[in-house]
Amino acid sequence: MTLLGRRVLRTEDQRFLTGRASYVDDVRAPELEGAAHVAFVRSPVASGRILDIDAGAARSMPGVVAVLTAAEVDLPPEPPVDERVHQGMARPYLAGRLVRFVGEPVAVVVAGDRATAADAAAGVAVAYEPLPAVVDVEQAAGDGVLVHAGAGTNTAARFEAGGGDGEVGGDAEELFAGCEVVVRRRLVNQRVAACPLEPRSVAAGWGDDGRLHVWSSTQTPQASRAVIETALGLPAGTVHLVAPDVGGGFGPKIGLHREDVLVCWLARTLRRPVRWTEGRTENMAAMGHGRAQVQTVTIGGRRDGTILAYRLDVLQDAGAYPRDGAILPELTGAMAAGVYDIPRVHFRARSVVTNTMSTTSYRGAGRPEATAALERAVDLFAAGAGLDPAEVRRRNLVPAGAFPHTTAVGTTYDTGDYAGALDRVLDAAGYGELRAEQARRRQAGDVVALGLGVSCYVEVTAGLRAGQETATVIVRPDGGVVVLTGTSPHGQGHATAWATIAAERLGIGPERVEVVSGDTDRVPVGGGTSGSRSLQLGGTAVHEACGRLVDAARARAGELLGAPADQVVLDGAAGRFSVGGAGGDGPTWADVAGAAGPDGLQAEAVFRAPTPTYPFGAHLAVVEVDTETGQVTLRRMVTVDDAGRVLNPLLAEGQRHGGIAQGVGQALWEEMAYDGDGVPLTADLASYAMPTAGDLPAFELVAMETPTPVNPLGAKGIGESGAIGSTPAVQNAVVDALAHLGVDHVDLPCTPERVWRAIVTARDAV
């Protein structure tokens, strides 16, 4: 019986749920014996000159090992994320002369224990001369106050895609020529915090082997090792990095943070192991934020609902020091045309620095922003044309027979059936009856309005360019299997999934498969886990390595059976080899692996995907809005998230659930807010409103599988889809609920107060 497509339970969970997981802070290793603890002194001002740092009192506290400032750290500043970004905006490890955001480290304290380190950090007195700060990205775009005076501009990067008739730079009139309805809007896609349950954590110590051993809560162990080696000027191979259990990542744990590198530097400089686990407030203020775009959409078409042209202008808030966030608009641009066949699309973006924490990848990373803009725009267009938003969507979808499809911004989608997804969702939700119920309530003047929000999306997974991943599979002489994978999970369930793939291909029970990841000694090459890449790249690599292993095993078995390899057949159910599938008691996997030597039999594969994949789907949200208080209650969430062929529906649904919850969070509650002076207002979980189970209905997940030809599994990514489709569906539902009151837009997050204000503004405008 095949395991593929079955709801195989997660083998990880017993360990996680019974407190036996081991996160970085739990790691006890000889190299970490007697580790000192690090605490950072962070700037309370968003922009200022450091006048004086008095660390005398802190240094003299018992148990304090060292207090270091910028002058003592001989590491060159971190260069901006890549060459497309302004090179004059580099981030120092510790701020020396100037601070540029609240939370920027200005000194580092090392002490014998964590509490002493915290007390000493609180005892470091820093005098700042406050300087003008620019917190708002639209203001920053005007260059009135410069975040990096030396750069001469706040613009960190620019991106452009598409244009009139495919030409970059088509002007507005040309783009919207022939349109009977044109709608233009400014939309805010607010800044959010990723809030992984495990905050950042790193531990580093030198071993007797002369190498630096690092444990890090990261999504990308191999890349992180390279960052440390480069930053510290160590020869390749000097750093051994382990990502143990990782308690959530959501994007900001891609790569390493300045603090992580500094901890490694301290381990070298102080010649003793050092560890750091940040607190929640520190995490929320200084790990990096997601989204943070101000978007201007212009959409035009015919009165019959045909969309002819779309323009998206993005102002991306990069934060003080450009990181991934500064280049994510490239992904927004690549996905600007969404699921629609729009003849003319033009995308322009500017990433602009502000006196806030850097923005970085966050579940979807640039693609949810594209979907949010377009899906809101389509609803605005539908309202402008006086048509039903679901109907307008259906009219403009790329038809199922048109794949591969290249959009007006030049992105080529692999496979899709967008109308199929939309229809399934509308059917499952009972769209017509819901509209009738809405009309009844409006007729009756019900205070609690009903709103339906539709969103259709397509996204790109496994990177914008073709990705690759490695796997090594070993069958030991005892018949057990070891899978070494270059992906690195932080909650996704890879141990279960990869074991299933190997078990299926080898005919060995999944309980006999051990999956190893995240240790750069055991897996020196790998891309880690981000961008919904793991199954389609890493899982495929496991699948292919297993295929090679079977071939190698057939050759071995042939030697044992005295037959040529091409006549040897593996009986998957029995786990035995025979000539021509004759059955009987031919050699087992253990026999074959044992014959190969004490290390067993091994095969490797590098899977190179020819292109990325393009998962798609449709979401429908049903909300109730109390029109007197503005309070929104999400009643239903019906979604199709087509990620190609599904290996394990249980794991896929888990990814959808979490993604939808996060996307709904962005729609209704979450916002990483700063005050006018650049002080974070929501840097703890009391003020930052992440949703909990009490706020969400049971999601209605509708199945749909449209395989991709890009990899032999037929799989696309599923990690981010939920967060991409749900935000605009819920936002559109809130606006839809209020349409009869004259409301045509409510910005994210649709808090009760914003909703109420939108109602009042619409009423006063009459």
Strand ranges, E, within 131-225: 155-163, 181-193, 201-206, 212-216
Q: Any contact of residue 695 with another protein (CB under 8 A)?
A: yes
CB 94 within 8 A of CB 277: no
CA 116 – CA 112 distance, rounded (Å): 7
Taking contact as CB under 8 A, which single stretch among the options 364-372, 426-434, 487-495, 691-699 is the one that binds another protein? 691-699
Q: Any contact of residue 84 with another protein (CB under 8 A)?
A: no
Query: Shortest Cβ distance from residue 687 to another protein (Å)?
Result: 5
Query: Shortest Cβ distance from residue 681 to another protein (Å)?
Result: 5
User: x/- site string to another protein, residues 613 to 632, per CB under 8 A?
Assistant: -------------x-xxxx-
* 436, amino acid identity: A
From the list 29, 75, 90, 118, which residue makes contact with another protein (rule: CB under 8 A)? 118
Query: Shortest Cβ distance from residue 25 to another protein (Å)?
Result: 12
Q: Any contact of residue 566 with another protein (CB under 8 A)?
A: no
From the list 1, 686, 698, 765, which residue makes contact with another protein (rule: CB under 8 A)? 686
Query: Shortest Cβ distance from residue 742 to another protein (Å)?
Result: 18
Minimum CB distance to another protein smaller for 406 or for 633? 633
From the list 21, 90, 689, 739, which residue makes contact with another protein (rule: CB under 8 A)? 689
From the list 673, 739, 741, 762, which residue makes contact with another protein (rule: CB under 8 A)? 673
Number of CB atoms found within 10 A of residue 349's CB:
27
CA 154 – CA 152 distance, rounded (Å): 7
Query: Shortest Cβ distance from residue 441 to another protein (Å)?
Result: 17
From the list 485, 682, 706, 708, which residue makes contact with another protein (rule: CB under 8 A)? 682
Of residues 120-139, those binding another protein (CB under 8 A): 122
Taking contact as CB under 8 A, which single stretch among the options 89-97, 356-364, 498-506, 686-694 is the one that binds another protein? 686-694
Q: Any contact of residue 751 with another protein (CB under 8 A)?
A: yes
Minimum CB distance to another protein smaller for 152 or for 279? 279
CA 719 to chain CA mean position, Å: 8
Number of CB atoms found within 10 A of residue 447's CB:
11
Minimum CB distance to another protein smaller for 427 or for 628? 628
CB 704 within 8 A of CB 411: no
Query: Shortest Cβ distance from residue 143 to another protein (Å)?
Result: 30
Q: Any contact of residue 115 with another protein (CB under 8 A)?
A: yes
CA 632 to chain CA mean position, Å: 27
CA 338 – CA 342 distance, rounded (Å): 9
Of residues 536-565, those binding another protein (CB under 8 A): none
Q: Any contact of residue 51 with another protein (CB under 8 A)?
A: no
Q: Any contact of residue 700 with another protein (CB under 8 A)?
A: no
Query: Shortest Cβ distance from residue 451 to another protein (Å)?
Result: 16
Type and span of the H or E element at 729: helix 721-737
Q: Binders of another protein: how many residues, by CB under 8 A?
A: 32
Q: Choose among 58, 454, 65, 449: nearest CA to 274.
A: 65
Q: Choose among 84, 332, 298, 328: nearest CA to 170.
A: 298
Q: Choose among 274, 259, 269, 261: nearest CA to 112.
A: 274
Taking contact as CB under 8 A, which single stretch among the options 223-231, 341-349, 572-580, 683-691 is the one that binds another protein? 683-691
From the list 677, 684, 705, 744, which residue makes contact with another protein (rule: CB under 8 A)? 684
CA 609 – CA 612 distance, rounded (Å): 7
Q: Any contact of residue 694 with another protein (CB under 8 A)?
A: yes
User: x/- site string to another protein, residues 410 to 429, per CB under 8 A?
Assistant: --------------------
User: x/- site string to another protein, residues 243 to 282, per CB under 8 A?
Assistant: ------------------------------------xxxx
* 565, amino acid identity: A
Query: Shortest Cβ distance from residue 691 to another protein (Å)?
Result: 6
CA 365 – CA 724 distance, rounded (Å): 9
Minimum CB distance to another protein smaller for 235 or for 694? 694
From the list 681, 712, 761, 763, which residue makes contact with another protein (rule: CB under 8 A)? 681
From the list 14, 230, 687, 761, which residue makes contact with another protein (rule: CB under 8 A)? 687
Query: Shortest Cβ distance from residue 673 to another protein (Å)?
Result: 6
Q: Choose among 399, 413, 411, 289: nearest CA to 347.
A: 411
DSSP 8-state code for residue 49: E
Minimum CB distance to another protein smaller for 126 or for 334? 126
User: Residue 263 to residues 72, 200, 202, 267: CA-CA distances in angstroms?
Assistant: 14, 12, 7, 6
Q: Any contact of residue 747 with another protein (CB under 8 A)?
A: no
Query: Shortest Cβ distance from residue 426 to another protein (Å)?
Result: 28
Minimum CB distance to another protein smaller for 686 or for 765? 686
User: Is cis: bond before 649, omega within 30 of 0?
Assistant: no
CB 486 within 8 A of CB 469: yes
Would strands 513-516 and 568-571 be described as parallel, antiparallel, or unpaired?
A: unpaired
Minimum CB distance to another protein smaller for 84 or for 635? 635
Burial of 673 (0-12, 13-18, 19+ CB in 10 A): middle
CA 47 – CA 176 distance, rounded (Å): 42
- The H helix count followed by the E strand count for the chain is 20, 27
Q: Choose among 336, 250, 252: nearest CA to 296.
A: 336
Minimum CB distance to another protein smaller for 613 or for 682? 682
Of residues 220-239, those binding another protein (CB under 8 A): none
Query: Shortest Cβ distance from residue 130 to another protein (Å)?
Result: 22
Q: Any contact of residue 709 with another protein (CB under 8 A)?
A: no
Q: Any contact of residue 692 with another protein (CB under 8 A)?
A: yes
Query: Shortest Cβ distance from residue 695 to another protein (Å)?
Result: 5
Of residues 282-341, those binding another protein (CB under 8 A): 282
Burial of 216 (0-12, 13-18, 19+ CB in 10 A): buried
User: Residue 412 to residues 63, 161, 407, 712: CA-CA distances in angstroms?
Assistant: 60, 14, 6, 19
* 359, amino acid identity: T
Q: Is 450 left (phi over 0), alpha (psi -120 to 50) or beta?
A: beta
CA 107 – CA 218 distance, rounded (Å): 24
Of residues 446-505, those binding another protein (CB under 8 A): none
Of residues 368-407, those binding another protein (CB under 8 A): none
Total length of the chain: 766
Full strand arrangement of the beta sheet holding 125-130: 98-99, 48-54, 125-130
Query: Shortest Cβ distance from residue 114 to another protein (Å)?
Result: 6
Q: Any contact of residue 761 with another protein (CB under 8 A)?
A: no
CB 474 within 8 A of CB 600: yes
Q: Any contact of residue 657 with another protein (CB under 8 A)?
A: no
Query: Shortest Cβ distance from residue 622 to another protein (Å)?
Result: 16
Taking contact as CB under 8 A, which single stretch among the options 291-299, 362-370, 589-597, 690-698 is the one that binds another protein? 690-698
Q: Which residues contact 230 (CB under 8 A, 6 or more apart)?
A: none
Minimum CB distance to another protein smaller for 115 or for 149? 115
Query: Shortest Cβ distance from residue 686 to another protein (Å)?
Result: 7
The SS3 assignment for 109 reads strand
CA 154 – CA 322 distance, rounded (Å): 10
Write b or e for each residue in 693-726: b if 16 or more Cβ atoms lie within 10 A of its Cβ, otherwise e.
Answer: eeebeebebbebebbbebbebbbbbbbbbbbbbb
Q: Which residues bind another protein (CB under 8 A)?
A: 114-115, 118-119, 122, 279-282, 626, 628-631, 633, 669, 673, 681-682, 684, 686-687, 689, 691-692, 694-695, 751-753, 756-757
